[in-house]
Amino acid sequence: MLLGLWLIGGGVAAGFFGSLLGLGGGTLIVPLLTLVFNLPLLTAVGVSLICVIVTSGASAGVFLERHVANLRLGMTLELFTAIGALIGGLVAFLLPERALEGLFAVLLVYTSLSMARRGRVAGGPEEETVVDGEPPDDTFFDANLSGPTYRVRRVPAGAAGSVGAGVVSALLGIGGGIVKVPVMHLVMGVPLRVATATSNLMMGITASAGAFIYLSRGLIDPFVASPTALGVFVGASLGSRVVHRIDLRILRGLFIAILLYTALQMLLRALS
Amino acid sequence: MTAGPRHAPALDLDRTVGRLLTIGTYASILLIAIGCVLMFAARIDPLAGGPALEPGLIIDDITHLRPAGFMWLGLVVLLFTPIARVVVSLFGYISRGERTMAIVSVLILVVIAASIVIGNVEA
């Protein structure tokens, strides 16, 4: 029973801090299950994909009802993230576990660098409309995927980035927001708030596509996945309620250090 | 194509799909939570390895209050909630005559079906 409670507690912590820092559950769940509970990486990835679906379902439902997420854009791009997840889920079983651990270490370093960069620009006004000198393309998708205050452009580039996000999601058990949000925001001209909400929406189907591969290999253990997912749900719900009341600067600095330390541990595990 | 008339009806679909996601997620979490309580009551070590998914056993496990039944049903509901969202969107787009988005929806379902089939064949 104690181990089950620890799994729930770990899930609560991962969901809570993931929600506060915009990390998503997966980035913290996989190191938790491998480094603390000593589970094989692929088992941890399978459990993490379940947790990603939980956080996606809970948050995307709200984002859609509030009309923040763009359903048409999300569905168009998730066709490509799902294809990527199918590829990533199959490739994950061809790679040695050490290679995946090394890749996860790289992901953690990249995530901590992204957090450091975000911390430097925090406090600036959120971009609501994207204005630049480039005339928008006038294809069917560019016109139909746009929102009332923004115009979507470079859909093929967004589709290519989405395939990459799907591959990374199924390989490493993450939501892939770290790839999708910059692609939508910087490449496709989607406002950051809409890109984040739409990315959350897409994570559900992307993680499902990957999770079915892991399920068929017997790598989703209900006794590990259930308490962890329950904890992530509770933690993410708590996090979304207190995020506006917490000064995130210190927490962000602390987690940059924790992620870098975790990356080192993951690298050592890969090399051991 | 202008955004105005096309975006007005889409709001209803957003709300329907959003509600479906919320209900599906909460239902699955409820089942998973019941499974966890039963697992604790039965003093099962979660790291000892749980049973694989046997769809035919889920109902039997649930009627006998075995934790794996509730957990697997919760996990299956969770896995199929995003898929149900795509199915509902598909019908929404068909009813509005949005052929391209309907095709996109069908293609997503094809990719998901492929991941289920290929995963099982490879396994």
- Per-residue confidence band for A142, with pLDDT thresholds at 50, 70 and 90: low
pLDDT of residue A126 exceeding 50, the answer is no
pLDDT at A2 over 90: no
Q: What number is the average pLDDT over the span B81-100?
A: 95
Identify the residue with better confidence: A250 or A92.
A92
Predicted local confidence at residue A253, as pLDDT: 85
Flag if A82 and B112 touch (Cβ within 8 Å).
yes
Q: What is the structure's pLDDT at A22?
A: 76
What's the whole-number mean pLDDT along residues A188-199? 91
> What 3-state class would DSSP assign to A25?
coil
Query: Is the pLDDT score of B11 beyond 60?
Result: no
Q: Which residues of B touch A69 (CB under 8 A)?
A: 14
pLDDT mean across residues, chain B: 89
Asked if the Cβ–Cβ distance from B39 to A205 is below 8 Å, we say no
pLDDT band of B123, cuts 50, 70, 90: low
Per the model's pLDDT, the better-predicted residue between B122 and A240 turns out to be A240
Q: What is the pLDDT of residue B3?
A: 41
8 Å CB contact between A142 and A159:
no
B36-80 confidence digits (pLDDT tens): 999 999 999 999 888 999 999 999 999 999 999 999 999 999 999
- Determine the Cα–Cα distance for residues A32 and A200; give it in Å rounded to an integer: 22
Q: Is the pLDDT of residue B8 over 80?
A: no
- Most A CBs within 10 Å, among B1, B15, B36, B110, to test the A interface: B36
Residue among A78, A141, A224 minimizing CB distance to B47 = A224
A207-254 pLDDT per residue, tens: 999 999 999 999 999 999 999 999 999 999 998 888 778 777 888 888
pLDDT range class, residue A120, cuts 50, 70, 90: low
- A 5-34: CB under 8 A from B: 5, 7-8
Q: Kindly write down the DSSP assignment for every residue of chain B, as one continuous string.
A: --SHHHHHHHHHHHHHHHHHHHHHHHHHHHHHHHHHHHHHHTT--GGG-PPPP-GGGHHHHHHTT-HHHHHHHHHHHHHHHHHHHHHHHHHHHHHHT-HHHHHHHHHHHHHHHHHHHHHHHH-
- The reply to whether A62 touches chain B by the CB within 8 Å rule is yes
Looking at this predicted complex, what is its ipTM? 0.89
Q: What is the pLDDT of residues A49-60, one digit of tens each?
A: 999 999 999 888
Cβ–Cβ gap A222/B72 under 8 Å:
yes
Which of B44, B85, B98, B121 would best serve as a mutation to test chain A binding (most A beta carbons within 10 A)?
B85
pTM: 0.90
Q: Is A206 left (phi over 0), alpha (psi -120 to 50) or beta?
A: alpha
Q: For all residues of chain A together, what is the average pLDDT?
A: 87
What are the tens digits of pLDDT across the range A29-42? 999 999 999 999 99
